[in-house]
C-alpha cells in the first residue's frame, strides 16, 4: 500500500501537463471521444482557426452534424462533414441525434455511433494502427500512426468544400458533391471531379444514382494530339489561395485570374454550392470587423443556361423559372398559377394550381378554360414536341389553346413557334 501511493502521485504529475499540451497542439489521443450535446466540446487546431466536433443543425432541434468548421468567425462555416453513403452497409444519415458519440479508435479510426451505440459512420480504410489524430491549422483532420504516417485525412475525403493547401489527385477518384440545400447536408444534385483524362468537370447527376448528365463546365485540360503533358493531374488550392489545375508537364491552368489578398489576413474556401455554382470565397480574419464571406469568382458564368441538359431539371426544379442574380447564383421562382411542391424548398419543383388535360377540355367543349401568361426572354428548352414555322405570335398562341396537351408555347425570331 505504501509503495503504491508515490507511484500514483508521479503518474498524476506526468499526466496533467500532457493533457494540457494535447489541447494546444490539436493532438487527440486514441480513446478520446466527443458527445453531441448542447454544451459539447470540440477538438481545436492549435491556432484555434478550425474545430472538429458536433455542430447543432440550425433548423433541426436535437440533430447534430459531425463536422469541421471555421471556429473564429460568427458563421462557424462548415468545411467538412461526415456523410454516410447509402451504398455502405452501415447506412445512416448524416445528421445524428443528441447523445451520438465520435471516438478515436486505434484500429477503426474515427467511429461515429448513435445514442444506442449503433455505428453510423467511420473514417474508412485504415491500414495500420492509429496513434493519434491532429486537428491541423489548415483545417485538415489527420490520423497518424506512431511513425507519423498519415492513415486518413479529411482533406482526402472532401465533401463540398476545398481549403488552401488541399489538393485533389486525378488518380484518387475523389468527387465533391454539393449538399441538398444550405441546411441539408445530404448528397445533392451536383458534382465536381478531375476526370481520368485530366478534365475538370461540373456535372448534374440523376439522384439517387450518380449517373451524370453532360458537364455544365469543363476546363479542357486534356492531353492534346501531339502532347500528353497537357493533361491535368491535380486540382491544387495552394497556400496563397490560388486554385489551379496542375498539368502533367507541371504547367498550371488557373481557374481564375482574380488577384488575392494575403492568407495572413483572409480565410479562403472554395465550395460547390447546393445550387451547383462552384465559388471561391474570402473572409477577413480580424474579428473586430464584422466580416462575412465575399464571393471572388465562380463558375459556370450562367448556371441557368449551363445546366440545361437532356435529363434532370437543371439548377431549379421542374416548372420553375431560373434567373441569374448579380452574385451569379440562381433564383428560382414559380410561374404565375403555379406554387412550390415543397413550400420550404424554394429551389424545388412547382405544381400547377389548376387541372389541365384533355379530359377537362372534353367536359367543357368550346369554353376557354385557360389563358396565357406572357414571359419575356424565357425559354423551356428540350421539351419541344412541335416546331411550327413560319408562324405568327397569334397563330402560335392559338395552336397551343386548341391543343389539350400544350402547356407552353415559345415564340421566337419573329416567325418560329
Ligand X SMILES: *[C@@H]1O[C@H](CO)[C@@H](O)[C@H](O)[C@H]1NC(C)=O
136 CB contacts (<8 Å, ≥6 apart)? Answer: 26, 45, 50, 142
The residue from 58, 239, 311, 378 that contacts ligand X (CB under 6 A) is 239
CB of residue 136 to ligand X, shortest distance in Å:
8
Q: Where in 264-413 does DSSP place strands (E)?
A: 266-272, 278-284, 294-299, 321-324, 330-333, 338-340, 350-352
Collect contacts of 371-375 with beta carbons under 8 A, ≥24 apart: 372/397, 372/400, 372/401, 372/409, 373/335, 373/336, 373/337, 375/321, 375/335
263 near ligand X, rule: CB under 6 A = no
**Binder among 134, 135, 176, 332 for ligand X (CB under 6 A):** 134
Nearer to ligand X, 254 or 363 (CB): 254
Among positions 132, 190, 237, 411, the unique one binding ligand X when judged by CB under 6 A: 132
**Binding-residue pattern over the window 179 to 218 for ligand X, x denoting contact by CB under 6 A:** -x---x-x--------------------------------
243 or 334: CB nearest ligand X: 243
CA 348 – CA 48 distance, rounded (Å): 38
Q: Which residues pair with 110 in a beta bridge?
A: 104
Identified binder of ligand X from the candidate list 211, 249, 251, 302, rule CB under 6 A? 249
Distances 355 to 79, 297, 350 between C-alpha atoms, Å: 44, 43, 14
Q: Which stretch binds ligand X (CB under 6 A): 112-120, 267-275, 283-291, 378-386?
A: 283-291
Question: Helix, strand, coil: what percent of the chain each, to 5?
Answer: 10, 35, 55
Among 54, 64, 141, 242, binds ligand X (CB under 6 A): 242
Site track for ligand X across 40-79, x = CB under 6 A: --------------------x-------------------
Our finding on whether 138 is near ligand X (CB under 6 A) is no
Are 293 and 197 within 8 A, CB to CB?
no
Using CA atoms, how far apart are residues 341 and 275, in angstroms rounded to an integer?
18
Footprint of ligand X (CB under 6 A): 25, 27, 37-39, 60, 95, 132, 134, 180, 184, 186, 226-227, 238-240, 242, 244, 249-250, 252, 288-290
Amino acid at each position: 500500500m505504501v509503495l503504491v501511493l508515490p507511484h500514483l502521485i508521479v503518474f498524476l504529475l506526468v499526466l496533467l501537463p500532457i493533457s494540457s499540451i494535447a489541447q494546444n497542439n490539436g493532438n487527440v489521443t486514441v480513446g478520446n471521444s466527443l458527445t453531441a450535446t448542447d454544451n459539447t466540446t470540440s477538438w481545436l487546431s492549435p491556432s484555434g482557426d478550425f474545430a472538429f466536433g458536433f455542430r447543432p443543425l440550425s433548423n433541426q432541434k436535437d440533430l447534430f452534424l459531425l463536422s469541421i468548421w471555421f471556429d473564429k468567425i460568427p458563421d462557424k462555416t462548415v468545411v467538412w462533414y461526415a456523410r454516410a453513403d447509402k451504398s455502405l452497409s452501415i447506412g445512416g444519415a448524416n445528421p445524428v441525434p443528441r447523445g451520438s458519440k465520435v471516438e478515436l479508435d486505434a484500429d477503426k479510426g474515427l467511429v461515429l455511433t448513435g445514442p444506442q451505440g449503433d455505428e453510423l459512420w467511420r473514417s474508412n480504410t485504415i491500414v495500420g494502427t492509429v496513434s493519434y489524430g491532429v486537428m491541423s491549422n489548415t483545417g485538415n483532420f489527420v490520423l497518424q500512426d506512431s511513425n507519423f504516417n498519415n492513415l486518413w485525412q479529411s482533406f482526402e475525403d472532401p465533401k463540398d468544400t476545398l481549403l488552401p493547401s488541399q489538393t485533389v489527385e486525378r488518380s484518387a477518384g475523389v468527387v465533391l458533391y454539393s449538399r441538398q440545400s444550405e441546411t441539408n447536408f445530404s448528397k445533392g444534385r451536383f458534382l465536381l471531379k478531375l476526370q481520368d483524362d485530366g478534365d475538370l468537370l461540373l456535372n448534374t447527376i440523376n439522384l439517387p444514382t450518380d449517373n451524370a448528365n453532360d458537364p455544365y463546365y469543363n476546363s479542357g485540360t486534356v492531353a492534346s494530339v501531339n502532347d500528353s503533358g497537357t493533361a491535368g493531374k491535380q486540382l491544387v488550392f495552394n497556400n496563397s489561395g490560388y486554385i489551379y489545375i496542375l498539368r502533367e508537364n507541371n504547367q498550371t491552368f488557373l481557374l481564375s485570374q482574380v488577384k488575392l489578398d494575403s492568407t495572413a489576413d483572409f480565410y479562403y474556401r472554395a465550395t460547390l454550392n447546393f445550387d451547383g455554382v462552384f465559388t471561391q470565397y474570402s473572409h477577413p480574419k480580424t474579428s473586430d470587423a464584422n466580416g462575412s464571406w465575399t464571393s471572388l469568382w465562380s463558375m459556370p458564368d450562367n448556371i441557368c443556361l449551363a445546366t440545361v441538359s437532356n435529363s434532370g431539371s437543371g439548377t431549379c426544379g421542374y416548372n420553375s423559372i431560373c434567373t441569374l442574380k448579380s452574385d451569379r447564383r440562381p433564383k428560382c421562382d414559380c410561374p404565375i398559377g403555379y406554387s412550390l411542391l415543397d413550400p420550404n424548398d424554394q429551389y424545388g419543383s412547382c405544381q400547377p394550381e389548376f387541372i389541365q388535360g384533355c379530359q377537362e377540355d372534353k367536359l367543357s367543349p368550346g369554353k376557354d378554360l385557360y389563358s396565357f401568361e406572357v414571359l419575356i426572354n424565357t425559354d423551356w428548352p428540350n421539351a419541344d414536341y412541335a416546331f411550327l414555322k413560319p408562324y405568327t405570335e397569334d397563330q402560335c398562341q392559338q395552336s397551343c389553346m386548341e391543343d389539350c396537351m400544350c402547356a407552353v408555347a415559345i415564340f421566337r425570331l419573329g416567325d418560329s413557334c
